[in-house]
Structure 1
Amino acid sequence: MSGDGWTVGRVAKRCGVNVSTLHFYEQKGLIHSTRNSGNQRRYEADVLRRVSVIKAAQKMGISLGSIKTAFASLPGERTPTMEDWQNLSSGWQAELDARIACLERLRDSLTGCIGCGCLSMKNCPIYNENDKLAEEGPGPVLLNRGGGLEDGGH
């Protein structure tokens, strides 16, 4: 690549994203560009890895806010090394482990509940008569409290 940097179109094509996605990432502070004399965006080659990490992290369910926080730990004055990226990804390990455990509970619970066919409303771990669980907060209360669906299986 020449010293002029990568154009937004070339980065978008290389990363498999839309130009508007790169503009959005830049607006959110996830990637950075400079401007040439014609006021066009130019990116350094390390933006390719940043965009790849963003896409991979999003596939794992990591929010853009968490990605931005993690990127703040990367060096700004140089291209991040493999060790820098490994340190960043290890920070997501606990979050991903918790998410995997929750998904496994959900999978195991739904298989048992849907598969049993008993429709035993008094014993069903997901039945929520008169929306009593709303008193405990919004969202999937049984899953959020950790004991969740697996405690009342069929």
Structure 2
Amino acid sequence: MKLLDIGAVATAARLPVSTLRYYEEIGLIASAARHGLRRQYLPDVLLRLGLIAMGKSAGFSLSEIAAMFASEGRPALGRAELHARADALDRQIAELTALSDTIRHVADCPAENHMDCPTFRRLVRAGTLLPA
């Protein structure tokens, strides 16, 4: 099996080489060999890096991500924890959508003063849970 040089992995994963070294230092990835001083990786490291990136995007810490890999390196994901994180992301999406709607309304509102606009006031109340 052909090994990938650390530079090729960094380019393919769109990560700095220093990040790959750090991930190896904390046990998230492992090099398979060295060519001179340069680390060499099995091609499946790219899939693992994709999983790490996805976990980070979902809000998991690197230590939480590390705990999601079984000792043989295969993902061992807790389904309840994943459902809870997906629920939290859904709430965040709803909050960000409400914020986007409010900002878009402010940008397009024909009212001379936004504070006099009933739609703006309704959006602010909905977005901040202020009493009606």
2:85 alignment counterpart = 95
RMSD: 3.3
Partner of 1:58: 56
Q: Spell out the pairing of 1:1-154 with structure 2 (5 A cutoff).
A: 1-2=1-2, 5-36=3-34, 38-71=36-69, 73=70, 75-76=72-73, 80=74, 85=75, 88=77, 90=79, 91-105=81-95, 107-108=97-98, 115-116=120-121, 149-150=128-129, 152-154=130-132
Unaligned 5+ segments in structure 2 are: 107-119
Could you tell me the percent identity over the aligned residues?
A: 29
Q: Is the 8 A contact 2:29 2:48 kept in 1?
A: yes
Which stretches in structure 1 are left out of the alignment for 5+ residues? 127-148
Q: With structure 2 as the length reference, what TM-score do the two structures score?
A: 0.63
- State TM-score, norm by structure 1: 0.56
Q: How many residues align?
A: 114
The verdict on how the C-alpha distance between 1:34 and 1:96 changes in structure 2, with shifts beyond 3 A counting, is same
C-alpha spacing 1:109/1:18, structure 2 compared with 1 (3 Å): closer
